[in-house]
Structure 1
Amino acid sequence: MLIQAIATSFRQHFQAEPLLVRAPGRINLIGEHTDYNGGYVLPAAIDKEMYFAVALNQGPTIRLVAHDLHEEFAIEAAAVQRTDTGWANYLLGVVAQFQKRGVAVPGFDCVFGGTIPMGAGLSSSAAVECGLAFALNELLGTGFGRLELALIGQAAEHEYALVKCGLMDQFASLHGRAGHAVRLDCRSLEYEYFPFDTTACRLVLCNSGVKHALASSEYNTRRQECEQGVAVLRQHHPQIQTLRDATLDQLAAHRAELGPVVHRRCVFVVEENHRVEEACRRLAAGDLRGVGHLLYASHAGLRDNYQVSCPELDALVQAATTTAGVFGARMMGGGFGGCTINLVAMDHVEGFVKQMTSAYQKQFGRALETYQGTMVDGVSIIR
């Protein structure tokens, strides 16, 4: 097992006994591009994980080993700053956040690695941040709660990885619960768990293998378009703080003023928020087919109104609609590549993977990577 290899590597490197921690990646069942609009998301932690072996070393130096990359990095704890070593920044950003909160972080040693496929949109970066934050919280006895640790991870990503992410990824990694999705209110940070019947259904991710360069610039453009929409609506409805507060009727009434593009963006966000709430009701009732229909509707909105899909993702969702045992499918994540998430009946998973792989190869001449996931508990110590 990878965790045993990481523990062994730690003992060989540092001749000490480490604390062992696991930090899961996440999927988002539904609720895309709603987080920065003050809305709802419905993520879950899944059994693709980062593993950590960490111990204080009684010296002034932080020593990091990236097990999967066979790379090492060292820096004085008192001199932590952004570096040219990309992977180290995710960890150093966490240390900097502890220091910002008045915690004196001494030298420590860390070996980490994992099973989260890179670039698949399963938030390996958030798992790295949350795993180290959890380990340091334990070793230093700082007593931060899970929400504070999520905020530490998010700030690390903002300031050291320079990615302006929402809170969902770090939140899901820390707050996961086996067999449940968790609805997060991105405005109040209140959350609630909803059961996901793992005996009836499997989560299968299909990785398009595509990551268009458009993704980050278009993401920023979508944020601006949503802000434009709110600015227009507030002139008539001062109570509207974010698109979370807007209604479809209000959008229709001010359609001309919004303009066709901004109107479409806003419609998607308002409808997607409604879909998250409806999905929670369906999960509570054990209605996976109903949840699946909402996933298809979400994808159609992401494709047509938010315009963040791409031909490969559209083809994967289209193929899923004609495959036996599929409850629903949609693109997952920021867009322009990455994975589709598919809800597949347990006894159809093998046939689904076979058919999707064949269809993708035929249409795009590329192999399709698939991952199966189970909803698991959030970050924890491995005893």
Structure 2
Amino acid sequence: MHLLNQLTTSFQQLFQADPLLICSPGRVNLIGEHTDYNEGFVLPAAIDKAIYLAVGPRTDHELHVVAHDLNKTFQGSLAHLEPTHTWADYILGVVAQMRLAGYDFPGFNCIFSGTIPMGAGLSSSAALENGVGFALNELFGLGLDRIDLLKLSQRAENEFVGAKVGIMDMFASMMGKADNVIKLDCRSLEYTYAPLQMDGISIVLCDSQVKHSLVTSEYNTRRAECEAGVRFLQTFYPEIKSLRDVTMEMLDQHLRDTEPLIYRRCAYVVQENARLLAGVEALEANDIAAFGQLMYGSHEGLSKNYEVSCPELDILVDIARTHPGVFGARMMGGGFGGCTINLVREEALDSFTELITKQYKAQTAKDTYLHVCKIQNGTGIIKNQ
């Protein structure tokens, strides 16, 4: 792979050493959006778009990091890890969390690059965080398992970067398995792999080319709105811990007329959990048509009730609905831009590509770029030189 050769050569020239090479993938989520931080269910998979890292140890308690694609460098001391409000925070946050957890190491060098389209909602940040944690664990024999590492990545983003994200992105990137989706219970972290029986069907991402500038602030707002709904319902049902425990009957009785905005947010999450469980049954029955209809329902809820879509994402889904070779489509990720995920018959790929690129350009004056994804294994070593 040309990119790996570039990273290896750059690392050797800059640090006069051979690197450890790590691949840390992005993820798709077939259904179950914004349910993870509400202790619900998700159905993600790791994909063949990834962050690649070349790493090696230092002995002076410093870290030297090169963002190859950005042509930017960060140098700092392990003794002074403060947020920079730049890309470096995704790396510094993992280092800070490791040190808070009592894991010590004498510094490291890192050059990273990637094939994950930035701003497309494919979790490049989780991939980078996982890659850094995995690399440090390997370099210094820290003895952390994969679950430990992905939890560190989540804490890094929650507490250092300041985005109150759930566990799904990190889990999918770290724990992915080729040709399988992960049914993950975000409350217990119990998970099962389910073979993705989609012969003749492609996972196609349509990039809206809209970058989600609102996503961090609005993400935190949605989380707060969900938590407000739970607190309100706890006055009637003290046993409730999260929206995972809530039913539509509870919402209809206590929130629909008194708190209409909070009601819509909570209703979406409760309904999305139900859609996901129905979707798993559809996949197990190899009923892709039924699963696709649930994807459309998911998008409707995200757009109308949770209000994290945008006109461009809605247009992409509306166009996809008109093509007979498409089983289902919805926005994916935090929202306010990024990609839609589409299940498309392989023989319809060319006509789907032509339709969506022409129609999207006509309706938005923007281009869309399509990415056909394959499901791959999670974060791991490429080779140890």
In the superposition, the TM-score normalised over structure 2's length comes to 0.95
- 1:198 positional shift: 4.5
Residues 324, 352 of structure 1: 8 Å contact kept: no
| Structure 1 residues 232-243: aligned runs within 5 Å | 232-243=232-243
Post-superposition Cα deviations, 1:29-72, rounded to whole Å, max 9, x if no partner, equal 11111112111111111110011111113333221111111222
Change (3 A) 1:11 1:168: same
Q: Distance in 1 between matches of 2:121 and 2:49?
A: 12
Q: Distance in 1 between matches of 2:130 and 2:164?
A: 16
- Which residue of 1 is the match for residue 38 of structure 2? 37
Q: Distance in 1 between matches of 2:4 and 2:39?
A: 37
Amino acid in structure 2 at the alignment position of 1:279: G
Change (3 A) 1:160 1:237: closer
Amino acid in structure 2 at the alignment position of 1:192: T
SS at match of 1:151: helix
- 1:248 positional shift: 1.6
Residues 56, 108 of structure 2: 8 Å contact kept: yes
Amino acid in structure 1 at the alignment position of 2:107: G
- Which residue of 1 is the match for residue 248 of structure 2? 248
Residues 164, 220 of structure 2: 8 Å contact kept: no
Q: Distance in 1 between matches of 2:245 and 2:128?
A: 34
SS at match of 1:154: helix
Q: Distance in 2 between matches of 1:141 and 1:122?
A: 29
**Counterpart check, 1:165 vs 2:165:** yes
- Which residue of 1 is the match for residue 317 of structure 2? 317
- 1:282 positional shift: 1.6
| Structure 1 residues 83-162: aligned runs within 5 Å | 83=84, 86-162=86-162
Q: Distance in 2 between matches of 1:114 and 1:150?
A: 19
Amino acid in structure 1 at the alignment position of 2:273: N
Residues 173, 379 of structure 1: 8 Å contact kept: yes
Change (3 A) 1:12 1:314: same
SS at match of 1:324: coil
- 1:257 positional shift: 5.2
Change (3 A) 1:256 1:142: closer
Post-superposition Cα deviations, 1:193-220, rounded to whole Å, max 9, x if no partner, equal 1121343211111111223544333333
Gaps of 5+ in 1: none
| Structure 1 residues 209-248: aligned runs within 5 Å | 209-211=209-211, 213-248=213-248
- Which residue of 1 is the match for residue 349 of structure 2? 349
| Structure 1 residues 1-383: aligned runs within 5 Å | 1-83=2-84, 86-211=86-211, 213-256=213-256, 258-383=258-383
SS at match of 2:262: helix
Q: Distance in 1 between matches of 2:111 and 2:213?
A: 31
Amino acid in structure 2 at the alignment position of 1:75: G
Q: Distance in 2 between matches of 1:370 and 1:256?
A: 39
Residues 46, 373 of structure 1: 8 Å contact kept: yes
Identity %: 51
Amino acid in structure 1 at the alignment position of 2:14: H
Q: Distance in 2 between matches of 1:255 and 1:152?
A: 36
- 1:256 positional shift: 4.9
Amino acid in structure 2 at the alignment position of 1:170: M
Q: Distance in 1 between matches of 2:350 and 2:380?
A: 31
Q: Distance in 2 between matches of 1:294 and 1:308?
A: 18
- 1:377 positional shift: 0.4
SS at match of 1:160: helix
Q: Distance in 1 between matches of 2:377 and 2:5?
A: 20
Gaps of 5+ in 2: none
Amino acid in structure 1 at the alignment position of 2:328: G
Q: Distance in 1 between matches of 2:168 and 2:134?
A: 17
Amino acid in structure 1 at the alignment position of 2:36: D
| Range with bigger deviation, 228-237 or 121-130 | 228-237
Q: Distance in 2 between matches of 1:303 and 1:129?
A: 29
SS at match of 1:211: coil
Amino acid in structure 1 at the alignment position of 2:165: C
Post-superposition Cα deviations, 1:235-278, rounded to whole Å, max 9, x if no partner, equal 22222211111112222222455432222222211110011111
Change (3 A) 1:337 1:238: same
Residues 44, 181 of structure 2: 8 Å contact kept: yes
- 1:343 positional shift: 0.7
- 1:339 positional shift: 1.1
Residues 198, 374 of structure 1: 8 Å contact kept: no
Residues 177, 378 of structure 1: 8 Å contact kept: yes
Change (3 A) 1:257 1:347: same
- 1:337 positional shift: 1.7
- CA RMSD across the alignment: 1.6
| Range with bigger deviation, 53-62 or 149-158 | 53-62
Residues 163, 220 of structure 2: 8 Å contact kept: no
SS at match of 1:270: helix
Q: Distance in 2 between matches of 1:222 and 1:37?
A: 10
Q: Distance in 2 between matches of 1:12 and 1:214?
A: 39
Aligned length: 382
